[in-house]
Amino acid sequence: MLDLMQDEVFRAFSTYALVVILKTMIMAPLTAFYRFKRGSFANEEDVAFKSAEERKKLLRPNPDVERVRRCHLNDLENVVPFVLVGLFYALSGPQLSTALLHFRIFAGCRIFHTISYIGAFPQPCRALSFFAGVGATVSMAYHVLSKVFVL
């Protein structure tokens, strides 16, 4: 592992992978924050000490809470493939400048996607950031496949 950390591409990948993983991890406490702020809970046990009437009110979905949850789900659907594909990509010996471009595009797109999703920016802000991030991951996957498959 120590030898890998000497490789500039692998260090860059590790940095950007950790950035997007930590951003994804922040979404769970953010969801909880919105649940408490909006008074919208998902489970009976979360409101067990409230009266029956209060429980009914607190167990209703809230659009803001659902927006944060969907953003978190979208992160999980995109960050996991990025980390896996990015690992193979980093180990495939790409040029540092090209690797940095892929990693930066993906990380920047995910951060902007979260801001535009939670901030309810008008489309196509969110869609463009989503597709650019997916494009970076697909481009890395193509690079890896082109190195391992000889047709």
Tokens (6 digits) for 69? 């949850």
Q: Could you tell me the maximum CA-CA distance found in the chain, to the nearest angstrom?
A: 67
Q: What is the pLDDT of residues 9-19, one digit of tens each?
A: 999 999 999 99
CA dihedral sign of residues 71, 84, 129, 100: positive
Question: Distance between CA 68 and CA 114 in Å, rounded?
Answer: 9
CB contact at 8 A, 13 and 99: yes
In the chain the domains, ranked by start, together with CATH numbers, are 4-148 (1.20.120.550)
Higher pLDDT, 6 or 116: 116
- State the average pLDDT over residues 32-36: 91
> What does the mean pLDDT of the chain come to?
91
- Phi then psi for 70, rounded to 5 degrees? -65, -35
pTM, rounded to two decimals = 0.89
Cα 137 to its chain centre, rounded Å, is 12
Quickly state the pLDDT bin for 64 (edges 50, 70, 90): very high
End-to-end CA distance of the chain: 32
Question: Distance between CA 145 and CA 115 in Å, rounded?
Answer: 33
Q: What is the pLDDT of residues 112-130, one digit of tens each?
A: 999 999 999 999 999 999 9
Q: Is the pLDDT of residue 151 over 60?
A: no
